[in-house]
Amino acid sequence: MFARRNLLLALIPVALMSACSTPGDLKARAPLMTEASSKNPQTLAACIGDRLINVDSFRFMSSRPTAGGYVVMQEENLGWGPNTTFIIEILEAGKGSQVKVVARPDLRSGPEEKIRSAVKGCV
């Protein structure tokens, strides 16, 4: 009984750490979605950020300009390392933008659908 409990207690930090993702980890994944838009990256970043800022699970979201456009992402430090939930890259493409979304694989339909809805509502 005690051995089983100790084993479970030892596995909890391992399970929690395995859910953590760095920006590099996410960028190596296949995109959750890609979209094209006639809007410029700055306009799209503002729109997507405004739609996601009121979602409770995205409290630690940030937006910043990059060399080719903008990035909107959620990253938080959980005490044992960084945890990036999603990255939305919005790059200049001709007279518009290309949007690429990558997200942690453990996001279930709720948060994933909110990201999809925000992007679709802005492009």
Banded model confidence at residue 109, pLDDT cuts 50, 70, 90: low
Mean pLDDT within 77-88: 78
User: Taking the alpha carbons of 90, 66, 104, 56 in that order, is the dihedral positive or negative?
Assistant: negative
Q: Are 72 and 49 within 8 A, CB to CB?
A: yes
Q: What is the pLDDT of residues 33-68, one digit of tens each?
A: 999 999 999 999 999 999 988 776 676 788 999 999
What CATH number does the domain located at 21-122 have? Answer: 3.30.310
pTM of the shown model: 0.78
On the question of pLDDT at 6 being above 60, the answer is no
Residue 89 pLDDT greater than 90, yes or no: yes
